Each structure stands twice: as C-alpha cells, then as structure tokens.
Amino acid sequence: MDPAENRKSIIVGIFLALGLVLFILGVFTLGGQQKAFVKNIRLSAVFTDVAGLKKGNAIWFSGVKVGTISAIKFIGPSKVEVYMNVDEATQQYIRRNAMAKIGSDGLIGNKLIVIEGGTAEAPVIEDGDVLQSEKMLSTDDMLKTLQDNNQNLLAITNDFKSLSHNILQGKGTVGALLADSTMAIQLRGAMRNLQATTQSAALMAVQLDKFSRKINTKGGLADKMLTDTATFAQIKQAVTQLQQTAANASTLTNNLTRASNKLNSTDNALGVLLNDQKAAVQTQSAINNLQAASIKLNDDLEAAQHNFLLRGFFKKRDKAKADSLKGKQ
C-alpha cells in the first residue's frame, strides 16, 4: 500500500476515533443532565399558567436539581398538567403535601419547577403522585405592582411637596410655629409647663411610694387598721360613738333652735318680756313699784319696833335669838 494512502487511512481512523469519543462523552453528558441513566419516579402538577416552561427544564428541591420536565399537556380550559421525572434517591425527602411552583434560573433565566414545603408528618411521595401547585407571580404582575407602587410614590411625593410648600408659606400649625416667633415662644412656654408638670407628677409618685411604704410598715397605725381586727373594732366603736355624739349635738342644736324661736315669739311670758317693748316697760314699772313698796315696808317695820305697844314683842324676840346663839356656842 502506498505510504500516502496509509497516512490518510490513519488520519481518518484518528478522526473517527475522536468523533466516537466525543459522541460517547456527549451522550453521557446529556444523559447526566437529563437524568437519563438514573432511576426516576414520575410526578405531576396542574398549573393555570406555565409561563414558558418547556420539556427538559430542570426541577429544583432545596436548591438542588432533582429531575427534569418530561411532558407538558393541556387537560382543560386554563389547565396545564406538567409531568416530572424526579430522581428516586430524593424520594425520601419530598413529602406529599409539598408545593410545586414555577420559578426561573436567575432574573431572566430558563423557567423551572421548584418543589418546596412539606411536613415531616406527611408520607413521602410515590410514583404517580400529583403535587399541589402554587400560582406563580408573573413578570406582568410584578411590573403592574411596581407601576402601582410608582404611582403611590408619586402621589406621596406630590403631597409632601404641597405640605412643604404650605409650611414654608406659614400655613397650618407647623408653618405658624416656624414663621411666627410669638407662637414659638408660647410653645416653648407650654413645653416648660409640661416639663414642670411631669416633674411634679414624678415627685408625687415618689411621695405616694413613700406613703405606701409607710402604710405597709409592720406595727404602724395604718398596718394595725388594715390587719389588726381588735384595733379596727375599737376604731369602729369610736366612730359609732362619734356618730351618736353628733346625733346628740344635732338634737341639742334643734332644741336650742326651738327655744330661740320661742324667745323670739310673743306667745309666752319670757318671749313677751324679751320682744314686747310695752310689756317690758310695764314690768320695769312694776319692779320699781315693788322696790318702793319694800322700802316703805322697811320704814313701817322700823317705826313699829319703836312703838310702845309692840316694843315688848321685839325685845322678847331679840332676847330669844341671843339665848339661842349662846346655847349653840
């Protein structure tokens, strides 16, 4: 064989061998990505919108790729069923009450299914199980929410702009405080008064605390009043006596009031003497007449003692008085 032809055959053989090696590597690489050589279990989930999900896209669980999308088909109006091949080795970690939702690999990456949630009390998944699906927040929804937030932010900014303009113009309470020095002084005075009131309240609280401590001091009057039944009974008795004394004083006051009313009236002798001027003059005249008659009677008795007819009687009486005094001595 010609050496040139041998060289050509060798080169062709080398290229064929390299192609075969690359083909085998490609098969194993793609098979590893698609889990073609791994034993799988088949799961499914129903979505209303798959947002561009395609066959062959990945399935993530706890951030790890555990399978791929095997098929996507419609099962009714606005219902799309997605079939998933999941690595059997991860079966023991995924629960039947787990949720399947559509996510993306990065902000603008390929769509994928994310399995999350599930409780330890729930059983593990089995081949053919249908997972519950969670609605995906689409890009349009996010843009709409962002637009609404932008409008709200614009409205807030306009309101704040109007508010700051009114404040700078001296409108409203805050504007008046900033523009009117008199009101600012009054506000400072009010704040000082409020501070003084707060200090007074704090001092009162301290005094109340001291008072409560004194009340709780064992052996004190307040403690005895609150805990000693004998002292409480004595205080209760004293209060009862005070109430009786007050009642007696009230009765005495009423009696004095009635007596005063009688003295001020003219339907009795003493009231007539105190209130009737004419009767008072007559009474004074009678007293004067009695006094004059008494003086005259004394004069008559004195004259009778010197009368010779009665002189012996008075001498005998005087002698009897003298003898009586001597007998007593």
Provide the pLDDT for residue 182. Answer: 72
Helix (H) or strand (E) holding 67: strand 64-76
Enumerate residues 6+ apart whose C-beta is below 8 A from 92: 124
What average pLDDT does the structure give for the chain?
A: 78
Cβ neighbour number for residue 31 with a 10 Å cutoff: 12
Identify which of 118, 114, 107, 108 has the alpha carbon closest to the alpha carbon of residue 57. 114
The 3-state DSSP class for residue 265 equals coil
pLDDT digits 0-9 by tens, 275-285: 667 766 777 77
- Is this prediction's pTM over 0.85? no
Identify the pLDDT of residue 43.
93
Report pLDDT for 160. Answer: 79
Which pLDDT score, from 0 to 100, does residue 61 have?
92
Taking the chain (329 residues) in runs of 10, the rounded mean pLDDT of each run is 68 80 70 60 92 90 92 90 93 92 79 90 92 78 82 86 74 65 74 87 86 70 64 76 82 77 65 65 76 75 64 68 69
pLDDT at 139: 67
Write down the pLDDT at residue 226.
62
